[in-house]
Amino acid sequence: MKTAVIENNKIVLKNAEDVKLDGRKGAIVKVSGCGLCGSDIVKFVHKIAKDGTVLGHEIVAEIIDINSETEFKKGDVIVTSHHIPCGKCVYCRHGNVSMCEHFKSTNIRPGGFSEQVYLSEEHLQNVAHLKPENLTDIEASFYEPLGCIVRAVKRANLLDGDNVLVVGLGSIGILASQALRAYGYNVTGCDLIAERIEFLKSFGIKALDVRKLPDDYMADCIFMTSGADRAIDTALKYVRNGGKILVFSSTPHDESSYPNNEIYYRELTVLGSYSPSPADLQDSLDLLKSSGVIVKDISTEYKFDEIQKAFDDTMSNKIMKAYIKVKSDD
Ligand SMILES: [Zn+2]
Ligand SMILES: [Zn+2]
């Protein structure tokens, strides 16, 4: 099989041994395609992932071999996530599932940018689902990224009709805006790039240039999908006293000063949200299936041997999000 590995700061296709069950429980899947996540870019650019690593986790795939107690069978087309919480540790008991040691240590192997992948029995039992028939492969590949957003929306714990300002309208901002609307909040999106503003408007959601936000606009919650210093200034300017700032992005340089007095005197709540629980993923799939969130036209498709270009185009903001079609047409 072919697999895409990191080698000398490049992503290169290599031939590798086929993945086999070899008596293990679980399934071998043939990957149709895999979304390129912002976290893959971070791991690649900041050299967090070593040479030989196979990135990718937002897969849509067909089961080609299986030994499982679940109902899945050969030929099923599925979506899955990569991490599974233990459900028992201090983090899991407090709802911080993405901090769980077991969650961090579980993964799909070797990685999503690979023609074949091994899914453990735990994956099949907790985070894999049949791909809904009304979704294309690309649409279904949003199962995991949208799960992260569903989690963030739940963590914000807002009231019906609350004003939410989404700062940054990349793919995550577009998805978050739609998810927040689906949950009944009054969403406004802002960015500096005209095309992105227009794109959010095409979903019937208010969007404007951040420099045109009225001075008296007040948000109950700010959704930070950008980690830029300017975005933090925007958040502090428009969050109402007593409001919340939800941090949902990493920042390339972590020197941003901690706004102690703003948080203290204005009684602000600042909270982070990272990776989804199995329940968040289930809700994500329901949102995709019911068109509560529409993901059409967000991703640009690349062939497997164009994977380096997909990384380059994402890093240079030429595209919003990439989907790598791993399976060849023949
Ligand atoms: Zn992801
Ligand atoms: Zn745990």
Measured distance CA(298)–CA(296) in Å, rounded: 6
Which ligand is closest to the CA of 96, given by its number?
Answer: 2
Measured distance CA(141)–CA(58) in Å, rounded: 6
Cα of 278 from ligand 1 centre, angstroms: 14
Phi-psi region of 270 (alpha: psi -120 to 50; beta: other; left: phi over 0): beta
The candidate with the shortest Cα–Cα distance to 129, out of 115, 116, 142, is: 142
Measured distance CA(241)–CA(100) in Å, rounded: 33
Measured distance CA(171)–CA(195) in Å, rounded: 12
- Collect all residues with Cβ–Cβ distance below 8 Å to 73 and sequence separation of at least 6: 63, 66
The candidate with the shortest Cα–Cα distance to 66, out of 74, 57, 58, is: 74
Q: What is the CA radius of gyration of the chain?
A: 20
- Collect all residues with Cβ–Cβ distance below 8 Å to 292 and sequence separation of at least 6: 178, 179, 182, 286
Structure tokens at 59: 């897969």
Contacts 24+ apart (CB under 8 A), 11-18: 11/44, 11/55, 11/113, 11/307, 11/308, 11/311, 12/308, 13/304, 13/305, 13/307, 16/110, 16/114, 18/116
How far is the CA of 328 from the CAs of 178, 208, 303, in angstroms? 32, 40, 8
Q: How many CB atoms lie within 10 A of CB 270?
A: 16
**pLDDT digit string (tens) for 61-117?**
999 999 999 999 999 999 999 999 999 999 999 999 999 999 999 999 999 999 999
Domain chopping of the chain, boundaries: 2-142+295-325, 157-272
Backbone angles phi, psi at 144, to 5 degrees: -75, -50
pLDDT digit string (tens) for the chain, length 330 residues: 999 999 999 999 999 999 999 999 999 999 999 999 999 999 999 899 999 999 999 999 999 999 999 999 999 999 999 999 999 999 999 999 999 999 999 999 999 999 999 999 999 999 999 999 999 999 999 999 999 999 999 999 999 999 999 999 999 999 999 999 999 999 999 999 999 999 999 999 999 999 999 999 999 999 999 888 889 999 999 999 999 999 998 876 666 677 899 999 999 999 999 999 999 999 999 999 999 999 999 999 999 999 999 999 999 999 999 999 999 876
pTM to 2 decimal places: 0.95
Architecture of domain 157-272: 3-Layer(aba) Sandwich (3.40)
**pLDDT digit string (tens) for 213-251?**
999 999 999 999 988 888 999 999 999 999 999 999 887
Which ligand is closest to the CA of 146, given by its number?
Answer: 1
Which ligand is closest to the CA of 277, given by its number?
Answer: 2
Which ligand is closest to the CA of 101, given by its number?
Answer: 2
CATH number of 2-142+295-325: 3.90.180.10
Cα of 99 from ligand 2 centre, angstroms: 7
Cα of 232 from ligand 1 centre, angstroms: 23
Structure tokens at 220: 């109950």
Could you check whether 2-142+295-325 and 157-272 share the same CATH topology?
A: no
